[in-house]
Amino acid sequence: MSIEPVSLTASLSAILPASTPALDAFAPLAPVQHPAPGFGDMIARCVGSVNDELVKVDNEVRQVAAGAGPSLHEVMIHLEEARLSFQLLAQVRNRLLDAYQEVMRMQV
């Protein structure tokens, strides 16, 4: 008794024709002119905005130290806002890393 080795391409070719009509039903959704902004783009944008905020606050601190610019409490509040936005980014990163590690621990 011999077991016929299963070939992946053969099984795929067996599956694909059957699923094509189902894929055709979703065809209007499929064509995308440009690649949609990915997850990495979103993270990069968040990092960029947080960095912009930190740079802006840094400039304000310089201005206050030079005796010009906005009032002291405004700068302190902007500092706190920048700190909170950075903490938010750090927490998002922590959660993402947790999810990634969860996936890596998964038994396949």
Q: Which DSSP symbol is given to 29?
A: G
Please report, as a single letter, which amino acid is at residue 55. Answer: V
Among 14, 74, 96, 100, binds other proteins (CB under 8 A): 74
Q: Mark the segment that binds other proteins (CB under 8 A) among 9-17, 35-43, 56-64, 84-92.
A: 84-92
Q: With binding defined as CB under 8 A, does residue 105 bind other proteins?
A: no
Q: Which of 16, 91, 99, 101 binds other proteins (CB under 8 A)?
A: 91
**Which lies closer to other proteins via its Cβ, residue 11 or residue 56?**
56
How far does Cα 44 stand from its chain's mean position? 7
CA triple 36-41-44, angle to 5 deg = 170
Please tell me the distance from the alpha carbon of residue 66 to that of residue 62, in angstroms, as a whole number: 6
Among 24, 41, 58, 81, binds other proteins (CB under 8 A): 81
Nearest to 57 by CA among 19, 32, 85: 85
Question: Distance of CA 47 to CAs 41, 66, 104, Å?
Answer: 10, 29, 25
Contact region with other proteins (CB under 8 A), list: 32-40, 44-52, 61-69, 88-96: 88-96
DSSP code of 26?
T
For other proteins, the closer CB: 59 or 101? 101
- Contact region with other proteins (CB under 8 A), list: 2-10, 31-39, 59-67, 71-79: 71-79
